[in-house]
Amino acid sequence: MDKKLLDILACPICKSSLVYDKNNQELICKADRLAFPIRDDIPVMLEDEARELTDEEIDALNI
């Protein structure tokens, strides 16, 4: 994930910053507890494509 792109991307729902999860190829919004997938190096920033994160996943991210 390009650092410059990550700096300008925001959650499409709450507009908060996102955290890149390299292992799962996802952008994480901790405020909304959502993970947006990255497919073919392109972030898919659609609410319908995001998955909800569990408490364990949020804790494991350590963010």
Per-residue model confidence (pLDDT) at position 47: 94
| pLDDT at res. 6 | 86
- pLDDT for 58: 83
3-61, what's its fold? N-terminal domain of TfIIb (2.20.25)
pLDDT for residue 2:
79
Low-confidence ranges of the chain (pLDDT < 50): none
Q: Of 15, 21, 22, 24, which Cα lies nearest the Cα of 45?
A: 15
**Contact call for residues 9 and 27 (beta carbons, < 8 A):** yes
* Predicted pLDDT at 37: 97
Q: What is residue 59's predicted lDDT score, i.e. its pLDDT? A: 84
pTM greater than 0.85: yes
Q: Could you tell me if 26 and 37 are in contact, meaning their C-beta atoms sit under 8 angstroms apart?
A: yes
Domain boundaries, the chain: 3-61
